[in-house]
Amino acid sequence: MADNIKTQEQHHLDHVIDEIHISQKDLEQKIKATKRDVKDINRNFNNDVRLKTETYSGMMETAMSIRQQQQMLSERENRQEHAARELGTLNKLEQNPYFARIDFREGDEKRDETIYIGMASFTDRPDHYLIYDWRAPISSIYYNGGIGNVSYMTPDGEQTVDVKLKRQFQIENSKIKTVFDTEEVVGDQMLLDALSNRSDTKMKSIVTTIQKEQNQIIRDTDSDLLFVQGSAGSGKTAAVLQRVAFLLYQYRGNLHSGQIILFSPNQLFNDYINQVLPELGEQNMVQMTFYQYSSHRLPSVQVETLSERFTEQLDKTAQKLTDVKGSLDYFRAVSAYANHLNKEDMRFRNLMFNGEILIPKEKIAEIYYGFNENYNLRNRLESTKEELMKILNRKIHVEMRKKWVEDAVQNLSKEEIQQFHAEGEEEILNADKEFKFLARRIVIKSFRKVQRQISRNHWLSINNQFVHMLKEMPKILNLADFGISNELWAEEIKATVGRLKKGRLSLADASSYIYLYDLMTGKRGDKDIRYLFIDEVQDYSAFQLAFLKFSFPRARFTLLGDLNQAIFTHENSRKLLGELGSMFPEDKTRVVQLTKSYRSTEQITNFTKHLLTNGENIIPFNRQGDLPHIYVKDGVDAAVEQVKQQSELNLADHETTAIIGKTLKECQELSGKLAELGVKSTLIRTENQRLVKGIIVVPSYLAKGLEFDSVIMWDASTACYPDESDRQLVYTICTRAMHRLTVVAVKSLSPIFETVPQDEYELN
């Protein structure tokens, strides 16, 4: 690039930075002035306002001036907060104001327009943009095309402009480091630079190099269901985080981060991605795992954890049971079952008081089914509650006459009597009335527990209902379609009841349990959530997705998945897309396929691609590195020695190395052996830990969604991965590597690797 261009651009940059400095000073002044204001308001208030509380008008006057003062203060605080936020943005822009320039001509205009694009907008006077936010409609032309006609969406529809110049910058500390013009969409060189960087324990934003297909995902505002199917490392997570930032910008004022929820594969992943949005100047959305959501909804039940779920090896029969419970048919069956409860079969519990039945369940049933057939479950529940409260009130009189109440009145202390009077504000006339008053108070107080039980639906029996539903299931659903006999189902019910008695539920059962309870109690879901994202959707069952749709009825869904990485649902995940289709209107559903893989070098992507039997759709990004190495060692000690040498080599290259084992057990054993050899490593046992630099040892199910400079797969032997069922898991493990992949096996290599051509790795 000619030096004079760089000089001219530096000149422009200096001008922008000067303007930023002026705005910074303005804002600092504003903040100072507001702070002074706040002080003055407080001082004046203390001096001027005397608390006049003796007369009614005096009290009113005092209340008015307090209110006025509060209003003034909160208005100043808002102003101060706003200014501080703006200043924060400018402080970020000051070092690195923009990353691109576009010159274009719009329609019949006579002159070209020039815009600069950066992390946030900046104007030096109203409507005079020195920098455009990357999320502004016009900025799309940077991501959507090269030179020539490029279209982008505006609030008024699609527009096309003629792009004359596309210039990219690398700016550091207010100085232009490099500037280059490109004719491509987003220059490969810039992307290559970005991808060649070392990994970190935190994910970074990709704003400067968003690819065209990713831009479509980020800016989609039409779909109710956006399904992104992309190979490992194709930037699904990256794109979706930029999408959250885009939505918050696009709908600012109407959408806040608390209305967006992301379901992620594990907690470690939450920690890994939690810097991206703050880096983009936005707040993080709500993040949780499905397990956390279920546990939160079922505080008194122990839901099966990620690690338990993974370690439990499902045999074919167990898999069939998990499949049926995860199916959309099962979801519909639970809905149908709940529907029939409107007519019969609702299970009730006696309402007890002092060890005796106060309102028998038969009576509750009579009330519940006494309402006419137009009632739905929700109305039935509410009306029954009302009726039960009335019955409870009527029982006060009966209870007051009982011996225990008489004793209780006699045993009241002076303080307790005073307390009752203070609450009841009753004037006492004679001893008889006093007794009745106190007896009534005592009964009301002791009925409070029953009152709570009525309002919290304790008179319903969710456990019995759930078991009844399981027993009814063969009548509603044709279990034979899932290869399940009635005997097998009966055994499964027994096992589930056994678990339930111990206060435990499998994740699949937990979903249907909560769903049934929500239907029984007429819960309508959380309407506040407007956008719901699910990462690694291939590990969800159709049931869980339908349940989430029910639980967040106003949310638009963005689902990210790689059917090749289904480590829980296996081949069933392929059906998922079809099943999803039936949950959302077709014209509001969009499926986007990402085929280019950015994370790994070309050599690693070619290798991992062949681990899949249908991986032909994966296109590696042209970034070069070494071929993956496979080591097969005779014994465990020799293999551990190999891991030691490789980790040390990786570390010497300043790389973070993840040693990924299948389960926690393998990882624990290896990490112990490494410690004996004097190798310092961090074992990630649970998802509540943090990622650290250096050597980490992590079980496969916690490595989902993460990436590392180097990956050592341990132990890739036939003993550990004997058959096809682990193919997707092996793929997931190997695709975590960005720059270097080493596979170490004891005795013999798993047959899964036989599909990889021999010239794609080095065997030692």
Ligand X SMILES: Nc1ncnc2c1ncn2[C@@H]1O[C@H](COP(=O)(O)OP(=O)(O)OP(=O)(O)O)[C@@H](O)[C@H]1O
Give the binding site for ligand X (CB under 6 A): 191, 194-195, 206, 209-211, 214, 230, 232-238, 562, 598-599, 705, 707, 735
C-alpha–C-alpha distance, residues 306 and 294, integer Å: 12
The kind and range of the H/E element at 689 are none
C-alpha–C-alpha distance, residues 66 and 617, integer Å: 68
Q: Which is nearer to ligand X, 450 or 532 (CB)?
A: 532
Q: Which is nearer to ligand X, 207 or 505 (CB)?
A: 207
3-state secondary structure 417-472: HHHHHHHHCCCCCCHHHHHHHHHHHHHHHHHHHHHHHHHCCCCECHHHHHHHHHHH
* Distance of closest approach, residue 736 Cβ to ligand X, in angstroms: 7
* Distance of closest approach, residue 535 Cβ to ligand X, in angstroms: 7
* Distance of closest approach, residue 601 Cβ to ligand X, in angstroms: 12
Q: Which is nearer to ligand X, 234 or 642 (CB)?
A: 234
The binding site consists of 230-237
How many Cβ atoms are within 10 Å of 516's Cβ, its own excluded?
A: 20
C-alpha–C-alpha distance, residues 642 and 602, integer Å: 25
Q: Which is nearer to ligand X, 23 or 264 (CB)?
A: 264
Any residues with CB less than 8 A from the CB of 501 and at least 6 apart, and which?
A: none
Task: Report yes or no: 492 and 325 within 8 Å, Cβ to Cβ.
Answer: no
Bridge partners of 556, per DSSP, are 531
Q: Is 415 exposed, middle or buried (0-12, 13-18, 19+ CB in 10 A)?
A: exposed
Q: Is 380 exposed, middle or buried (0-12, 13-18, 19+ CB in 10 A)?
A: buried
Q: Which is nearer to ligand X, 16 or 206 (CB)?
A: 206
Q: Which is nearer to ligand X, 90 or 594 (CB)?
A: 594
Residue 656 half-sphere exposure, CB side, CA atoms within 13 Å? 22
Type of residue found at 192: L
DSSP 714-752: ET-BTTTS-SGGGHHHHHHHHTTEEEEEEEEEESSB-GG
* Distance of closest approach, residue 205 Cβ to ligand X, in angstroms: 8
C-alpha–C-alpha distance, residues 749 and 744, integer Å: 8
Q: Which is nearer to ligand X, 227 or 550 (CB)?
A: 227
DSSP 544-592: HHHHHHHHSTT-EEEEEE-GGG-SSSGGGHHHHHHHHHTTS-GGGEEEE
DSSP character for 130?
E
* In the block, residue with structure tokens 């422009």: 12
Q: Which is nearer to ligand X, 80 or 558 (CB)?
A: 558
* Distance of closest approach, residue 269 Cβ to ligand X, in angstroms: 9
The binding site for ATP consists of 230-237
* Distance of closest approach, residue 605 Cβ to ligand X, in angstroms: 11
Provide φ and ψ at 22, rounded to 5°.
-60, -45
* Distance of closest approach, residue 703 Cβ to ligand X, in angstroms: 9
* Distance of closest approach, residue 554 Cβ to ligand X, in angstroms: 26
Q: Which is nearer to ligand X, 246 or 598 (CB)?
A: 598
* Distance of closest approach, residue 568 Cβ to ligand X, in angstroms: 15
